A and B are shown apart, each in its own frame.
Chain A
Amino acid sequence: MTTVAPADAPADAPAARPRRTGVLRQSGTVAWRQLVQIKHSPETLLEVGIQPVMFVFMFAFVLAGAMAGSRHAYLQFAVPGLIVQSTVLITARTAIGLNTDVTKGLFDRLRSLPISRTAPLIGRIAADFVMLLWSIALLLGFSILLSFRVTTHWYQLAPMLLLVWVFSFSLSWAAILAGLKASSPENVQALAFGIMLPLTFLSDSFVVAKTMPGWLQAIVKVNPVTMLADSIRGMLVGGPVAEPVTKTLIACAVLLVAFVPLTLRAYHRER
């Protein structure tokens, strides 16, 4: 017995079966969807923005005196660290959002469509990068109000954003793995706070490493967050750039080598 397609297609179907499109356009659509979500819950913009702003505020008024003597001096040190923290926290959003799709079944619908399998991932990473830009813009704007200054050149923001993007892209793969594996968005959230927050504090983002005990300094040194914070410092307020940037790129390469195969395997494995 053979199986044959029925000769007559549904007469007044809503649309002809659409043509295939490229992965870029599909990713763009996935990103579009996430940005449209913001239209319906604008508080997301606040959520994403409030955290860095609160930190800047706290650092400027609560910690600055004790840490560096003056508000300006401490912000010059801490703002690059806060940029890294925002980057890490946005990556947690990637994981939470992805997990919501997986656990709610939307992910299965996407997998049943004739689209590229990676478009849902690429689109999400792209949309979350837009969120990251927004949060960095708020962070910088507010810091500048409170006396932070870019003392190198403004155009240094461009390579800085590029490096931040490379870092967030690399870290996203770990986040995606968490998003695929966790059983609920709440679990991802807990995981994110359990891993990502310590990661940012066990670095020299906010405190000069020299003040820490030796064993801790060892951890801080190999923490990619430290490397990125040092790079941004070099770019925005002066200091070595080549060395921390090289280290950051190596850390990114390590993240990619470690997580891309794992994540892709988890991604392509059926659930």
Chain B
Amino acid sequence: MTYAIQATGLSKRYGETVALHSVDLEVPAGTVLGLLGPNGAGKTTAVRILATLAGPDGGEARVLGHDVVKEAGRVRELIGLTGQFAAIDELLSGVENLMFIGRLLGLSRAESRRVAVDLLERFGLAEAADRSAKTYSGGMRRRLDLAACLVGAPKVIFLDEPTTGLDPNARDQLWEIIRGEVARGVTILLTTQYLEEADQLADDIVVIDRGSVVAQGTPQTLKQEVGRPTLLVRPVDSARLDRVADIVTEVAGEHTRDERFVKTRVNDTGILPAVVRRLDDAGIEVAELSIREPSLDEVFKQLTTENPESTKKVTTP
């Protein structure tokens, strides 16, 4: 397996705050890794280290084989960074913003203009190309920001919360652009607070919370492994909840209950007929019996709040 980004044991503290604690990341070339976590999880810290803006206190990281500390200059030639907040010059027009980056990278005036115009075209900003960026909407700024990180045709790009604060339309547009880059063979590490975004874009997801990895895997396995579907049974007569609980435990192995429901996480929805049959045999009248699929948000909440010690590691092979 060749990895475009590989980090082992990355650690970083700011005074008393442990921003990252021994984080491992592996991103195969040409794929998208979604780094997922709530506020303060350490997403930006990880991106800054990988993009050579900050040095790790421990561990090491390589981008396309180059050490981000010892070969920072080499790494900078290969990456593009779009930070959490749009880094554009509001006093310049869209074209000038991109030409600025192009010329810094050594393109001639004509080349840099051509690249700028191409990118603006691709990002749907052609009409606003000559307007100063302070007149841009939030979504346009984000797109310009992303365009700026592509001027140098990077092979690896880091996107820190690229769609935060965008309306659904602008978000979809940005997703399309990101997919386009992936299709070109670019490797992407993107951070997000939204599972849906990771689900849409990422080949693999790493969930971090308070600086540590709490889960990782494909979107599919995460949903399956962490958020198994829940079976809910509500008897008509709540006096019979005890009996229902026994039956559910016999079939599914465990249960939780409240005043009205008996619930259990199920691995295999095939147990449903068995439960129905056993309840029937026991003569229990059922008011409600259902399977609820886990929502991604539940998975996320479960991972990032229900495990204060951050010990629940789900790793897929």
Contacts and interface: CB of A to CB of B under 8 A. Distances in A.
Interface of A: 1-6, 8-21, 25-26, 29-30, 32-33, 36-37, 40-41, 104-115, 119, 270-271
Given A105-B83, A108-B53, A3 B65 contact: yes
Contacts of A12: 184
B81 interface: yes
Contacts of A271: 53
Nearest to A109: B87
30 contacts: A1-B6, A2-B2, A2-B65, A3-B2, A3-B62, A4-B3, A4-B64, A6-B29, A6-B30, A6-B64, A6-B155, A6-B187, A10-B153, A14-B119, A15-B102, A15-B115, A17-B153, A26-B104, A29-B100, A36-B96, A40-B132, A104-B85, A105-B87, A110-B104, A111-B53, A112-B52, A112-B76, A113-B76, A113-B104, A270-B48
B186 interface: yes
Interface in B78-107: 78-81, 83-93, 96, 100-107
B295 to A, nearest CB: 33
A270 B53 contact: yes
A71 B103 CA distance: 50
A9 B4 CA distance: 12
B53 A33 contact: no
Contacts of A6: 2, 4, 29-30, 64, 155, 185, 187
Query: DSSP class of A's interface residues: helix, strand, loop or mixed?
Result: loop
B237 interface: no
Contacts of A25: 106
Given A1-B3, A33-B92, A112-B51, 18 more contacts: A1-B1, A2-B2, A4-B65, A6-B2, A6-B29, A8-B185, A14-B150, A18-B105, A25-B106, A29-B100, A32-B103, A40-B132, A105-B86, A110-B104, A113-B76, A113-B101, A114-B105, A114-B152
Contact of B73 (A2, A3, A11, A114): A114
B120 to A, nearest CB: 11
A13 B148 contact: no
Contact of A113 (B48, B62, B152): B152
Task: Identify the interface centre among A33, A109, A115: most chain B CB within 10 Å of its CB.
Answer: A109
Task: Identify the interface centre among B52, B73, B106: most chain A CB within 10 Å of its CB.
Answer: B106
Interface residues of B, number: 60
B65 A104 contact: no
Interface of B: 1-4, 6, 29-30, 48, 51-55, 62, 64-65, 73, 76-81, 83-93, 96, 100-107, 111, 115, 118-119, 132, 148-155, 184-187
A63 B255 CA distance: 90
B79 A112 contact: yes
B152 A3 contact: no
B152 A106 contact: no
A5 B151 CA distance: 20
B64 A108 contact: no
A20 B152 CA distance: 11
Given A3-B62, A29-B100, A270-B53, A14 B92 contact: no
A19 B111 CA distance: 13
A211 B260 CA distance: 92
A40 B81 contact: no
Contacts of B187: 6
A25 B62 CA distance: 30
A205 B147 CA distance: 49
B2 A4 contact: yes
A113 B30 contact: no
Contact of A114 (B3, B77, B100): B77
Task: Identify the interface centre among B52, B104, B152, B154: most chain A CB within 10 Å of its CB.
Answer: B104
